[in-house]
Amino acid sequence: MNHSYIYSIVFILLLNCCEKENSQITLSVDQITYGDCKPGTKKSGTSEYIEYITVDAEYLQINHVNAWFNCEPGKIFVSAELINDTIVIHEDEETALANCICPYDLSYRIGPMNYDRYIFSIRRGGCIYTEFSINFNSSTKGVFSIE
């Protein structure tokens, strides 16, 4: 048997063993809730922020307060995927036909996650809406203001 063939197999096995553990995590989003449109609110005068806290040891509860969607979104969907050290969260609306926007309070739980530092990238319609980083552990808790 050719030695270069054996070395190639060993090299590939070593690479697979050394992959970052996060690449094997499959995230789920559950417990999605959101309130009604808050009519009469102006975007310029309303603060939008994200509250987050560790729950159930491996999950992060996210409360996106005053999340702006159109005033007739149908259902609001949330999904997530882990790409390297970035958790990409897709917050999307079912329909975008209305010619108005208003804030909603959106809440969801994401996980399971390993204790590690993550970049959270919230996206709408495929575009980055905001990004922030969190050092996720058993006592993670904080607020991120969206400008």
pLDDT value of residue 109: 98
Assess contact for 66 and 99: CB atoms under 8 A. Answer: no
**What's the farthest any 2 CA atoms get from each other in the chain?**
76
Left if phi > 0, otherwise alpha if psi is -120 to 50, otherwise beta: which for 129?
alpha
pLDDT value of residue 5: 55
In the chain, domain spans: 25-146
- Model pLDDT for residues 75-110, shown as the tens digit of each residue: 999 999 999 999 999 999 998 788 889 999 999 999
Q: What is the DSSP letter of 74?
A: S
Assess contact for 108 and 40: CB atoms under 8 A. Answer: no
